[in-house]
């Protein structure tokens, strides 16, 4: 009857589906404790009837914690929108009574010095279950309601045996802010009669969609860089338990079925041990059995890979665990028409729930194998590190303690042993200062993390990639570093935490001016803070030297001075204000005793130019790429604490742009920026504004006559004598993708965009096929790729000549203003700090380019 009804209603694309009760999801012949609340009794609807909002998800987890002695709830932290990140520790009542003892005994496995003492006979496996890191892939989090209920309420010898042998670290929502955003969208667009038409508003989110966190980042790329609060909170608990299995519940296109690992064999990162993949396949057999039993379609070994360690299903692989990716075909809303028929939300939830149960079965059935693997992994890693030709790495920038500290803090989050230099070191033509540089030995349990942070890769088994092909963190941060292949340098004790950078301000009784170098990462933050307090600042466009406390200090291009004579506040009041603004930024501020320089320009020279307080607008909304907008927003808002006004492309015609000094066009198509808006933008630039464009926005401006930027051709001349099999057509096309590689560029350090750099070479991340020609102007290309620029990553052969000596940044004058074209992403995923200064310079010093 239902099939007939569906046929009748096809033209309306509507289907009135009753909510599914628990019997649809739960295994048969299992009794449940009536004292444990069901999901519906707490959240007010059946699982899958509505999309669970994060607040109700947390409400239910708290109810289970209160009702069940199998559960203890922990708060990991909060998100940017102050939502709690919680985890349930689920195990048997007996294990709960000695949970800390179990945790400490489990950690023996990751300590090769003590792991021989670990008793595996009765040690539980630890399984981390993580859900919906992409907020608009909600079947995972909704299935979490069922998994948590099952583990709390199921009764009988089978569940007792399972919970005696397994500790579950249950993370119901990897991305609370994104989940809330998505659930609000689909629920508010759901009618009483379900609509399955793919064109429905319910099934097509508005920008930026729920995939991302508050700052529009993909948190499933942040496990390794860990630059976001959610990731940092999660890593603390991850390393407190070091799970044996981590599951990562996702969704994929609606016309697919269900994917579980193993992934594409040729795309496994070579740093992942073979035994990891053997266990992945063994766990996969449990999933296959479960899905066979319910008749759900599935696939393995295609589409997805285990290459980039910044993903939740791959990060565990270099931490002695097995990461498992689940990808369920998405209903997007409550019901959707697909190639496989009508896809209902409850069906997607049931598949995810069954994958959770089969994971637990694998954790129990493969318990000794998983525990043994983790113990052996760390033993082998220490041996591998000791035999590695590089005995350690030294890293640090004397001129930029802020950026150095961010790098070291990142390594500490992964439990890497880091030691501060106690004696100056010169090696590989570089100088490293005691207390300002750090040594990271390779013979330690986290050697795999260290290796992937420093290694450069050029050879690959495959030419297809699901994500980036290289992420050398030392190059991304742009920090001086060197390999140590002989004796270790002199160091202090290993760091357990990193102290905040202290106040570093000098004062004199008769200070003529204050000065600070632009080389420090947080110098823009300090400058904006000073300007927001009403202080006037100037920037040096030439070098100068000054005697300070009997020592001659050299000040480079971009040095900021605060002339005391130009300020309304003087003496101690001004000194205290500057101290307050400097805080723990790490920026050293000098008190200059005179306007007379000991070398170079004097402080009254016309080569010191006033620095305007930036008033910044950035395009957002439809037509822009959310992650690119988010990266810039995150940089300005959280690191620099500089306000930026986000204006949707569609609203630009309705605002007055005259109030802004700078407008940012992050990557995007901008198809909805109409002719009137284009003319308004052109008029604003011509009147003196600075327009900063990145990636695809560079091409948009060039195509619409804002700049004279042109691009190198990438199309190859095809040999007509060659033909390929039909089944390779997709692979042949994807092999030409620029998934993400690292390239060396040379910058002009005398140019305003190069201020603050102490070395002329930077590493640029490139993930597009836009190869920009040099400007016709002698001074119009301040950043240019070198002759042999590839530093790490895959590069399709057809692009090798196109990228050689191509422009990375061009500047075009337009009237009294200018357009700064940054063809690549200088703020990639919040950890590409080596080029972030280039971007900040465009905002602060763009108007100096005339």
Task: Give per-residue pLDDT as tens, 411-442.
Answer: 999 999 999 999 999 999 999 999 999 999 99
**Measuring CA to CA, how many Å separate 104 from each of 115, 129, 804?**
11, 20, 53
Per the DSSP assignment, residues forming a β-bridge with 299 are: 259
Quick one: pLDDT band at residue 465, thresholds 50, 70, 90? Answer: confident
Q: What is the DSSP letter of 669?
A: -
- 782-797 residue pLDDT tens: 999 999 999 999 999 8
Number of H helices, E strands in the chain: 24, 36
**Measuring CA to CA, how many Å separate 179 from each of 90, 144, 186, 346?**
23, 13, 11, 17
In the chain, % of residues over pLDDT 70: 96
Per the CB < 8 A criterion, the answer to whether 385 and 182 are in contact is no
Per the DSSP assignment, residues forming a β-bridge with 158 are: none
- Flag the least confident range among 85-89, 476-480, 722-726: 722-726
pLDDT at 509: 83
pLDDT at 729: 64
Alpha carbons 131 and 147: distance in angstroms, whole number: 11
| Other CB atoms within 10 A of residue 843 CB | 23
What would the two tokens of residue 526 be?
A: 């300090």
What ranges in 725-820 are assigned the alpha helix state H? 729-734, 800-803
DSSP, residue by residue, 579-593: HHHHTTS---EEEE-
Pick from 314, 325, 324: which is nearest to 448 by CA? 314
Tell me the backbone φ, ψ of residue 287, rounded to 5 degrees: -65, -45
Asked whether residue 721 carries a pLDDT value surpassing 70, the answer given is: no
Name the 3-class secondary structure at 174: coil
Name the 3-class secondary structure at 646: strand
Per the CB < 8 A criterion, the answer to whether 160 and 124 are in contact is no
If you search the block for the tokens 């033993």, which residue do you land on? 379
Per the DSSP assignment, residues forming a β-bridge with 420 are: 438
Q: Which helix (H) or strand (E) holds 402?
A: helix 401-413
pLDDT at 730: 63
- 84-105 residue pLDDT tens: 999 999 999 999 999 999 999 9
If you search the block for the tokens 């939502």, which residue do you land on? 83
Q: How far is CA 151 from the centre of its chain?
A: 32
- Cis amide prior to 208 (ω within 30 degrees): yes
- 301-352 residue pLDDT tens: 999 999 999 999 999 999 999 999 999 999 999 999 999 999 999 999 999 9
pLDDT at 3: 44
Q: What is the DSSP letter of 505?
A: B
pLDDT at 720: 64
What would the two tokens of residue 482 be?
A: 């060197």
The vertex-817 CA angle with 651 and 697, nearest 5°, equals: 50
Q: Rounded mean pLDDT of the chain?
A: 95
Alpha carbons 468 and 308: distance in angstroms, whole number: 7
Per the CB < 8 A criterion, the answer to whether 489 and 601 are in contact is no
Alpha carbons 598 and 586: distance in angstroms, whole number: 26
pLDDT at 96: 98
Q: How far is CA 510 from the centre of its chain?
A: 47
Asked whether residue 13 carries a pLDDT value surpassing 50, the answer given is: no
Q: Could you give the dihedral angle defined by the CA atoms of residues 561, 564, 566 and 569, in that order, rounded to the nearest 10 degrees?
A: 120
Average pLDDT for 34-41: 98
Per the CB < 8 A criterion, the answer to whether 357 and 105 are in contact is no
- Residue 242 burial by CB count (10 A; 0-12/13-18/19+): exposed, middle or buried? buried
**Measuring CA to CA, how many Å separate 102 from each of 72, 234, 323?**
14, 20, 22
**Residues 527, 532, 535, 537: is their CA dihedral positive or negative?**
positive
- Flag the least confident range among 454-468, 516-530, 540-554: 454-468
Asked whether residue 230 carries a pLDDT value surpassing 60, the answer given is: yes
DSSP, residue by residue, 297-354: --B-SSS--B--TTSTTTGGGGTTSEEEEEEEEP-SSSEEEETTEEEEHHHHHHHHHH
Q: Which helix (H) or strand (E) holds 634?
A: helix 626-634
Per the CB < 8 A criterion, the answer to whether 276 and 343 are in contact is no
The vertex-360 CA angle with 357 and 361, nearest 5°, equals: 90
Asked whether residue 734 carries a pLDDT value surpassing 90, the answer given is: no
Per the CB < 8 A criterion, the answer to whether 701 and 673 are in contact is no
Spatial CB neighbours of 402, under 8 Å, sequence gap ≥ 6? 501, 520, 521, 522, 585, 586, 587
pLDDT at 18: 56
Q: Which helix (H) or strand (E) holds 285?
A: helix 274-294
Asked whether residue 449 carries a pLDDT value surpassing 60, the answer given is: yes
If you search the block for the tokens 């005339």, which residue do you land on? 850
- 143-191 residue pLDDT tens: 999 999 999 999 999 999 999 999 999 999 999 999 999 999 999 999 9
| Other CB atoms within 10 A of residue 265 CB | 14
- Residue 654 burial by CB count (10 A; 0-12/13-18/19+): exposed, middle or buried? exposed
pLDDT at 289: 98
| Other CB atoms within 10 A of residue 328 CB | 28
Average pLDDT for 13-36: 82
DSSP, residue by residue, 200-248: SGGGSPPTT-TTS-TTS--GGG-TTT--SHHHHHHHHHHHHH--SEEEE
Asked whether residue 711 carries a pLDDT value surpassing 90, the answer given is: yes
Average pLDDT for 114-120: 94
Reported residue count of the chain is 850
If you search the block for the tokens 């004796």, which residue do you land on? 487
Alpha carbons 10 and 283: distance in angstroms, whole number: 40
- Flag the least confident range among 5-19, 28-42, 446-460, 613-627: 5-19
Name the 3-class secondary structure at 558: coil
DSSP, residue by residue, 503-530: P-B---TT-SEEEE-TTSTTHHHHHHHH
Alpha carbons 632 and 836: distance in angstroms, whole number: 9
Full 3-state SS string of 66-128? HHCCCEEEEEEEECCCCCEEEEEEECCHHHHHCHHHHHHHHHHHHCCCCHHHCCCCCCCEEEE
């Amino acid at each position: 009857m239902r099939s007939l009804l569906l046929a009748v209603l096809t033209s309306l694309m509507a289907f009135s589906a009753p909510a599914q009760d628990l019997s649809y999801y739960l295994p048969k012949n299992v009794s449940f404790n009536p004292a444990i609340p069901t999901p519906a009794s707490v959240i007010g609807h059946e699982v899958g009837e509505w999309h669970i909002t994060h607040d109700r998800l947390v409400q239910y987890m708290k109810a289970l914690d209160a009702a069940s002695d199998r559960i203890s709830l922990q708060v990991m932290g909060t998100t940017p929108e102050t939502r709690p990140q919680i985890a349930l520790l689920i195990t048997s009542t007996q294990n709960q009574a000695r949970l800390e003892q179990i945790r400490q005994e489990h950690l023996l496995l990751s300590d090769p010095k003590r792991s021989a003492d670990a008793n595996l006979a009765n040690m539980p496996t630890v399984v981390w279950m993580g859900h919906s890191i992409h907020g608009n892939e909600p079947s995972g989090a909704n299935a979490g309601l069922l998994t948590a209920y099952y583990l709390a309420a199921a009764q009988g010898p089978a569940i007792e045996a399972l919970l005696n042998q397994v500790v579950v670290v249950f993370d119901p929502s990897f991305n609370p802010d994104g989940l809330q955003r998505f659930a609000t969208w689909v629920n508010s667009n759901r009618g009483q009669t379900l609509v399955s038409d793919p064109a429905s508003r319910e099934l097509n989110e508005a920008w930026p969609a729920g995939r991302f966190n508050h700052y529009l980042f993909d948190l499933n790329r942040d496990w390794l860089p860990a630059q976001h609060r959610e990731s940092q909170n999660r890593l603390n608990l991850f390393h407190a338990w070091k799970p044996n299995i981590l599951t990562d519940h996702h969704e994929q296109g609606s016309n697919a079925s269900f994917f579980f690992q193993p992934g594409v064999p040729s795309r496994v990162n070579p740093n992942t041990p073979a035994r990891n993949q053997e266990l992945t396949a063994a766990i996969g057999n449990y999933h296959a059995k479960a899905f066979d039993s319910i008749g759900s379609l599935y696939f393995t070994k295609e589409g997805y890979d285990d290459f980039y360690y910044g993903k939740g299903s791959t990060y565990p692989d270099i931490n002695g665990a097995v990461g498992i990716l689940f990808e369920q075909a998405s209903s997007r809303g409550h019901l959707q028409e697909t190639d496989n028929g009508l896809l209902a939300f409850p069906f997607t939830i049931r598949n995810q729930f069954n994958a959770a149960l089969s994971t637990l079965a694998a954790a129990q059935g493969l318990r000794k194998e998983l525990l043994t693997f983790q113990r052996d992994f760390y033993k082998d890693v220490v041996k591998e590190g000791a035999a590695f030709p590089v005995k350690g790495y030294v890293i640090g920038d004397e001129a930029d303690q802020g950026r150095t500290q961010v790098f070291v803090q990142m390594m500490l989050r992964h439990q890497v042993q880091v030691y501060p230099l106690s004696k100056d070191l010169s090696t590989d033509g570089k100088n490293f200062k005691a207390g300002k540089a750090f040594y990271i030995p390779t013979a330690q349990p986290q050697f795999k993390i260290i290796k992937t942070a420093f290694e450069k890769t050029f050879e690959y088994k495959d030419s297809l990639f699901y994500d980036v092909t290289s992420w050398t963190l030392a190059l991304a941060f742009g920090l001086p570093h060197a390999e140590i292949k002989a004796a270790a340098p002199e160091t202090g004790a290993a760091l357990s935490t990193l102290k905040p950078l202290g106040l570093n301000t000098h004062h004199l009784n008769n200070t003529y001016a204050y000065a600070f170098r632009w080389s420090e990462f947080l110098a823009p933050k300090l400058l904006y803070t000073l300007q927001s307090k009403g202080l006037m600042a100037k920037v040096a466009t030439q070098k100068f030297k000054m005697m300070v406390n009997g020592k001659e200090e050299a000040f480079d291009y971009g040095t900021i001075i605060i002339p005391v004579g130009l300020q309304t506040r003087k003496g101690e009041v001004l000194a205290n204000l500057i101290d307050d603004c400097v805080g723990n930024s790490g920026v050293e501020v000098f008190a200059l005793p005179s306007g007379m320089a000991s070398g170079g320009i004097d402080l009254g020279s016309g080569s010191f130019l006033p620095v305007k307080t930036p008033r910044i607008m950035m395009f957002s909304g439809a037509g822009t790429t959310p992650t690119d907008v988010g990266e810039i927003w995150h940089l300005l808002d959280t690191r620099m604490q500089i306000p930026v006004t986000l204006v949707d492309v569609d609203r630009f015609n309705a605002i007055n742009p005259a109030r802004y000094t700078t407008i940012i066009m992050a990557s995007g198509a901008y198809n909805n920026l109409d002719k009137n808006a284009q003319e308004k933008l052109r008029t604003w630039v011509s009147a003196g504004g600075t327009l900063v464009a990145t990636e695809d926005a560079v091409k948009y401006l060039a195509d619409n006559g804002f700049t004279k930027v042109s691009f190198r051709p990438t199309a190859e001349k095809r040999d007509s004598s060659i033909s390929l099999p039909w089944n390779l057509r997709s692979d042949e096309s994807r092999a030409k993708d620029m998934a993400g590689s690292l390239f060396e560029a040379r910058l002009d350090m005398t140019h305003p965009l190069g201020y603050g750099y102490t070395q002329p070479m930077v590493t640029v991340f490139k993930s597009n096929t836009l190869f920009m020609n040099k400007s016709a102007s002698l001074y119009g290309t301040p950043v240019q790729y070198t002759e042999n620029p590839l530093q790490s990553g895959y590069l399709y052969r057809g692009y090798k000549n196109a990228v050689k000596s191509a422009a990375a940044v061009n500047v075009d004058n337009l009237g009294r203003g200018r357009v700064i074209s940054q063809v690549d992403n200088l703020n990639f995923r919040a950890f590409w700090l080596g080029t972030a200064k280039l971007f900040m310079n465009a905002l602060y010093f763009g108007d100096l380019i005339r």
